[in-house]
Structure 1
Amino acid sequence: MKDSTEVAVSSRRGGRRKACDLCCQKKIRCNGAKPRCSHCQIYESECVYNGVQRKTVPRVNSAPRVESLEARMGRMELILEGLKTQIDILSKRGEIESAVEDVQEVFPSSEEREDERTLPPLSDILPIVDEYFSSTNRLLPLFDQIKFMQMLRGWYSNPDQRGSATWAAINVVLALGLLLQPHINAGGDLTVATLVKNAQSVLDEIVTREEDILSAQIVLGLCILFQESPDPQPASVLVATAITLVHRLRLYSRSGQENLSQADIRQRDRLFWIAYILDKSISLRAQQPPLLSDAWTDIDLPEADPIDGAGVVYSLQGTSKINFFRLRVQLGIIQGKVYEWLYSVTADKLLSAAKEQFVQSVECTLHQWEESLPREFMPDSILESAPLGTVQHLASLHWTYLHTSALIHRAHSHNQKWIQIILQRSAIIIDEPIRCAITSPQPSLPGSWSKLVSSSRACMKLWDSMLTYNEPLIWSTLCGRITGLLLLLVNNLTEPQHEMLIADQRLVEAAIQSLVPIAAKLRNRQFQQVYHACEELALKVRILIERSINVVSASEAQYFLAEVQLGSSLDEPGTQPVLGLVQGLYHGGKRPEVMPTNPLGEAILQEDGSPLVDNSAISGTALFSWN
């Protein structure tokens, strides 16, 4: 019998196979050593040349496939015939050329895109640029005016040296100038949307260019623009890009600035703080971790009185001044602490006592920040004391303060759990007021509740007094305004005896009316839920007011008839209403005791004839748990 190593296996071409079975299976090179090749020795396998059996694939009947292909070919021939007919018709009409032109408009060549980077005449855009630098850039110094004007004039005087970064920067400044100053006549084709689209079209070139601060300025400008829009998501993406540029340029550190002029250092510091403001604001609003850490930076706060006056605002009376930019940076630092201490993953692991200490600490810091504002720049005074170009920015500052204050106590429009508790328990006030008065525990409202309500009232009055309709300001202050609206509504439901109820309810109704066009335009699920919750709460407050007026009117009539039957005069005519809701209808006097009634209209008395519950207990104050 022949040795297995001598068995020859013929290939298709009649040659001898040189690899053993193991090497064939593993697809490795066989050295053909005798009696066993090297690999068979390694794997301790028998070295044989019997050939590897391959699975036979059953033959498939190709007839059905051929028929299917022929059918498809027939259908394609019919389609081609139809297209040929259409081409003949279009050729006669001369429409093919126009169709090609349409395609070229959608996909322009690179040369054509370069040609599209045009701007209106310099004389047309100078008023917009001047308006931007006299208002918005004074408060948030994103660009150095002298350098920007040199760049702008260079664009028009040297067409051969035009670059995408310069073009984008000019578009951003024009958009910011038009954004909060819509009264400027910019021409029919020059709109904020068009300008933003222009800047976005070269964004990929901007973020990958050589390291200079112009790229960061453009991205931060776009981020500001998107913060004033209905959709805040692009702002979140852009601020991440801006922070990447901040890191690349090392704007967060003093190191490497030895060879720079004081003006350049000042501009770099301001860019860092603008990025910081946007990062902390977006982080807290979205309840996401910020991208900039306070531990990384050694940059000083903006000067209170800089040499170029950036951020400084004087009152119209000339009696006081503030540095808006410095105040906004300080508020941004507080916003960062609110997230870190109350909303971060680390904060979730803290004990309740530690959380309460953090709440008190950050609340105290926020209170000190507000106390630093002169009287002329408080919400109830800025319309009379602040320059016209700064009013909208100052209003936005106060709305941000209110929203931050509410976030400290989780009493804000993003807290869906809190809103649901309000809706559920407010229903008890309306539907079961007697049970509410008897069984409800004492309220668990924060100690600063009255301060939250007064701040909401002041901000709502300010908004109601601002006659100019400004859509960007509407979007940028939306969270704060809805939070203020909710706080007033909750206060009206829990404290229906307070003397400002009627005035507050007017503010509430006006605010809800102002939200109607926004609700029709903004299809955000969370906003729609909060908006409908505000409508429902406002309706319940109206029911409380009407119910109180009816109770007081019935009580007054009974009191008057009783006095007449006794033949006595009303020495002290009129009474105050039970829940303090219609104080303007009556004048002083002794207040008769009005008792709650059951659904059948009978007074609920104890055995000794005294009322079962005190009138003030029907307010429902005890119904709301804050936590």
Structure 2
Amino acid sequence: MENRIERLERAITISGLDTKQNKLQASIKSGDIKSQIGLSDKLSILMINEKGDSSYIGSSSGYSLFSFQGLQWIANKTKWADLELLLSQMTGHYRADWHHGNWCSFQGDIWNPAPAGDREPIPARNFAIKYVNIYFDVFNAVYPLYNRSIFDEHLHRQYSGNPPESIAWYASLNVVIAIGILSERMHCIKPNTVGDTGPSYELSWKYFRNATSCFTQLLFTDVSLMAVAALTGMAVVLQTTSSPHSAYILTSTAVRLSHSLGLDQPCDDFRISPAEIEQRLNVFWIVYMMDKGICLRYGRPSTINDEDIAVDLPRWESDIDRCRSGRGKFYAFPSLTRLALLESKVHSELYSARSRSKSDEEMLICIGTLDAELQDWKAALPIEVRPDHDIQCHDSSFLSVILLHFSYYNCLSAIHRVPLHLGLEIMDSNIRNCSLNPRLNYSAVICTHTARAVIDMLDFFSHDASPERANLIWISTHYLFCAFLVLFGNILEHPGDPDAFTDLNRLNLVTKLMSPPSATGHLSGYIRTLKTFEELANIAAAFLTCS
């Protein structure tokens, strides 16, 4: 990109269109661009282990302390010289070592077709109806992948002696039952509630395995709206495991299939029923939400170009249905969709290759605008579920509200990390010379507050050592580890902070609560990650003791 910029500048000069003012602006902007390109490269991570396996994590991920520049900063602050050990721990992860959380009874490749004799039989009608109902009551209210009337028509046929022959239906039924079992247990995660003795996680895994055995056919044989919904449901489930790579690949695949079906385009003139039009819209926006969330969390380009979207957002209905208890059911889907649009803008405007063409002043104006839009989004939420307020909602909505808070804090942190990376001196000089969002002057404080808020949310499920709590831990792993790194950096930067030792306790809480899942399966890759964070907590403790 630097060479491209220089060639462009030379071409303008040779053409005779250059003026003194243009030269001055180009000179200033070119310097800004080069510094931003270099900074972005230094804050990204490319991990390559001795087997040659590699994984790229971009600068929006929140893992910049594990970049070479970040490790150098740690070494300079702490006089800790053993960078090589930490680097070997970080690059020693073999994807094959990762296992699927609590679902440890299955050891094979889940994407291979399974012989009929190895599949879990479709359950009895009453069992299926129970967990389909739970799925629609708990999960589908947040991620409305299926239209209830269309799904019920297929379900009735399934037990009428003339079952549908569609592979997409078979995969969908199994995904819905698997999620229904998970939802029954995970929605009881709220403090002071007790889950019942329902089916085991192993059974949920078996139904999920039925669905994944159809993977190849869903891609190439039975390409349909229901196939996209099934793949998206699989990706959602895989976010509750220790393997984010699988969810990343599945989401990208679902996006490509949605494009092939035109889900991002209007279809009012194609004689499609209103129910199917609504489902097409919902499935597209759920895939969009997942794609943009993963994009921001792992610093990788999105599969969806926002400029190609020609459909409306989901209808914004009443967010809270009041119950007799006073705790309302919150329908998070419209709010999550609009947050995903903001996540997309954050990555595009602050972290993409195109964003590096902005001057520092333009970047700071953009940061201020995005922060204001995010605060407007937050203010539009009912106060019962608004971040930085006590959660007061129905138990069935609790998990979706927790995930909404995690996503909000992640987006806020991604916005306010950028001025810190640019440097406080640059930021201060720009604030004196142009009208900027005053919150930019407190970016470091905002990032620290956000990290504390994320870790403090562990109180919602630290009381319980059940498998469902462990699966919620997997969903929150990225947010907790990123928050850990922010507080770790703050301790090294400000050891005299009155909250430094409290923050150290937060670091230890993260490593303590992240430990139980590692005992439930063959998670050598995850265990190495956990050991890295335990080492960082030890470094922070030693640093505070010596300060």
Contact 2:241 2:471 in 1 (8 A): yes
Residue 152 in 1 paired to residue 150 in 2?
no
Residue identity opposite 1:409 in structure 2: H
Given the alignment, which residue of 241, 263, 274 partners 2:253? 241
Secondary structure of 1:250's match? Answer: coil
**Cα RMSD over matched residues?**
3.5
What residue in structure 2 maps to residue 200 of structure 1? 212
Instruction: Give the Å deviation of 1:219.
Output: 0.9
The number of residues matched between the two structures is 404
Quote the Cα distance in structure 1 between the aligned partners of 2:115 and 2:384: 54
Quote the Cα distance in structure 2 between the aligned partners of 1:343 and 1:116: 44
Given the alignment, which residue of 536, 539, 545 partners 2:538? 536
Given the alignment, which residue of 390, 394, 406 partners 1:399? 406
Deviation string 1:496-520 (CA, Å, 9 cap, x unpaired) is: 5655555544433322211234567
Q: Which one has the bigger helix percentage? A: 2
What residue in structure 2 maps to residue 377 of structure 1? 385
Instruction: Give the Å deviation of 1:150.
Output: 2.3
Contact 2:138 2:396 in 1 (8 A): yes
Residue 292 in 1 paired to residue 339 in 2?
no
Deviation string 1:254-310 (CA, Å, 9 cap, x unpaired) is: 14545223322211111110010011111122211111111111211111117xxxx
Q: How does 1:38-437 map to 2 (within 5 A)?
A: 113=116, 116=119, 118-159=121-162, 161-182=164-185, 183=195, 185-187=197-199, 191-209=203-221, 212-255=224-267, 257-305=269-317, 314=322, 318=326, 323-379=331-387, 381-383=389-391, 385-410=392-417
Quote the Cα distance in structure 1 between the aligned partners of 2:511 and 2:535: 11
Quote the Cα distance in structure 2 between the aligned partners of 1:313 and 1:533: 46
Q: Assess, with a 3 A threshold, how the Cα gap between structure 1 residues 511 and 115 changes in structure 2: closer, same or farther.
A: closer
Contact 2:348 2:355 in 1 (8 A): yes
Q: Assess, with a 3 A threshold, how the Cα gap between structure 1 residues 250 and 542 changes in structure 2: closer, same or farther.
A: same
What residue in structure 1 maps to residue 486 of structure 2? 487
Given the alignment, which residue of 430, 450, 456 partners 2:451? 456
Q: Assess, with a 3 A threshold, how the Cα gap between structure 1 residues 526 and 284 changes in structure 2: closer, same or farther.
A: farther
Deviation string 1:124-181 (CA, Å, 9 cap, x unpaired) is: 2332222111111111111112221221231122256444322211110012122343
Instruction: Give the Å deviation of 1:484.
Output: 2.0
Secondary structure of 1:120's match? Answer: coil
Q: Which moved more, 1:351-360 or 1:390-399?
A: 351-360
Residue identity opposite 1:327 in structure 2: S
Secondary structure of 2:377's match? Answer: helix
Quote the Cα distance in structure 1 between the aligned partners of 2:481 and 2:130: 35
Quote the Cα distance in structure 2 between the aligned partners of 1:314 and 1:491: 41
Deviation string 1:375-431 (CA, Å, 9 cap, x unpaired) is: 211356555x1111221221111112212222223489xx9x99xx9xxxxxxxxxx
Contact 2:417 2:443 in 1 (8 A): no
Higher alpha-carbon Rg: 1
Structure 2: 5+ residue stretches without partners:
1-108, 186-194, 424-439
What residue in structure 2 maps to residue 513 of structure 1? 512
Q: Assess, with a 3 A threshold, how the Cα gap between structure 1 residues 410 and 519 changes in structure 2: closer, same or farther.
A: farther
Deviation string 1:96-138 (CA, Å, 9 cap, x unpaired) is: xxxxxxxxxx9xxx99628957212122233222211111111
Quote the Cα distance in structure 2 between the aligned partners of 1:411 and 1:506: 27
Residue identity opposite 2:240 in structure 1: E
Contact 1:172 1:195 in 2 (8 A): yes
Deviation string 1:415-468 (CA, Å, 9 cap, x unpaired) is: 9x99xx9xxxxxxxxxxxxxxxxxxxxxxx962332333333333222223234
Quote the Cα distance in structure 1 between the aligned partners of 2:535 and 2:395: 35
Residue identity opposite 2:447 in structure 1: L
Residue 472 in 1 paired to residue 471 in 2?
yes
Q: Assess, with a 3 A threshold, how the Cα gap between structure 1 residues 131 and 380 changes in structure 2: closer, same or farther.
A: farther
Quote the Cα distance in structure 2 between the aligned partners of 1:210 and 1:256: 23
Residue identity opposite 1:364 in structure 2: A
Deviation string 1:222-252 (CA, Å, 9 cap, x unpaired) is: 1111122111111122112211221121111
Quote the Cα distance in structure 1 between the aligned partners of 2:201 and 2:504: 43
Deviation string 1:563-608 (CA, Å, 9 cap, x unpaired) is: xxxxxxxxxxxxxxxxxxxxxxxxxxxxxxxxxxxxxxxxxxxxxx
Quote the Cα distance in structure 1 between the aligned partners of 2:531 and 2:356: 26
Q: Assess, with a 3 A threshold, how the Cα gap between structure 1 residues 292 and 347 changes in structure 2: closer, same or farther.
A: same
Secondary structure of 1:139's match? Answer: coil
Instruction: Give the Å deviation of 1:211.
Output: 5.0
Q: Write out the 4+ residue segments of structure 1 that deviate beyond 6 Å after TM superposition.
A: none
Deviation string 1:8-35 (CA, Å, 9 cap, x unpaired) is: xxxxxxxxxxxxxxxxxxxxxxxxxxxx
Quote the Cα distance in structure 2 between the aligned partners of 1:507 and 1:230: 22
Contact 2:264 2:308 in 1 (8 A): yes
Quote the Cα distance in structure 1 between the aligned partners of 2:532 and 2:383: 33
Q: Assess, with a 3 A threshold, how the Cα gap between structure 1 residues 159 and 112 changes in structure 2: closer, same or farther.
A: farther
What residue in structure 2 maps to residue 70 of structure 1? none
Contact 1:485 1:534 in 2 (8 A): no
Quote the Cα distance in structure 1 between the aligned partners of 2:544 and 2:323: 40
Residue identity opposite 1:334 in structure 2: L
Residue identity opposite 1:480 in structure 2: Y
Quote the Cα distance in structure 2 between the aligned partners of 1:525 and 1:188: 25
Q: Assess, with a 3 A threshold, how the Cα gap between structure 1 residues 290 and 328 changes in structure 2: closer, same or farther.
A: same
Q: Assess, with a 3 A threshold, how the Cα gap between structure 1 residues 314 and 526 changes in structure 2: closer, same or farther.
A: farther
Quote the Cα distance in structure 1 between the aligned partners of 2:409 and 2:501: 22
Residue identity opposite 1:453 in structure 2: T
What residue in structure 2 maps to residue 558 of structure 1? none
Residue identity opposite 1:378 in structure 2: R
Structure 1: 5+ residue stretches without partners:
1-105, 422-444, 548-627
Contact 2:484 2:507 in 1 (8 A): yes
Contact 1:334 1:362 in 2 (8 A): yes
